[in-house]
Amino acid sequence: MNKAKILVVDDDPICSSLLLSVLGDDYQVTTVNSGADVIDIANIQRPNVIFLDIMMPGKNGYQVLKDLKQDPQTSKLPVIIVSALAEESDESLGLRLGADGYLAKPISPKEVFAVLKKYL
């Protein structure tokens, strides 16, 4: 049976490692530490879900989200923001830009699996 593909975009190695350790046994997880190449990676790997951080150097998560939603090849991919920005205005902006969900850091495995259950 093919494992669902998860793309984790986060410059924080602790968060990436957490998601990899939680999901690695059940899913095919790819981690990247910047938003620069996310469109290319998503087009090549065709992930089932993307977990996306907001605060990253260079291209931030909001910019990456806009790019993903404007590209016809990636516009339908579920994108879940995972961010330390926990204000309602941050979540609202992410959802307005097309995110399918928003998890505030620190995240719990229970939250991650609940989101995946919804989109897989």
**Residue 30 is part of a domain; what is its CATH number?**
3.40.50.2300
Provide the CA 101 distance to its chain's centre, in angstroms.
9
Residue recorded with tokens 């205005």: 89
Instruction: Tell me the mean pLDDT in the region 35-57.
Output: 93
Lowest mean pLDDT among 3-7, 56-60, 64-68, 78-82: 56-60
Q: Which residues pair with 87 in a beta bridge?
A: none
First to last CA, the chain: 14
Angle, helices 88-96 vs 61-70, to 10°: value is 20
Can you give the pTM of this predicted structure? 0.94
When divided into structural domains, the chain yields a total of: 1
Q: Which residue range forms the structural domain that includes residue 91?
A: 5-119
Instruction: Tell me the mean pLDDT in the region 5-33.
Output: 94
Selection from 57, 101, 103, 112 nearest residue 84 by Cα: 103
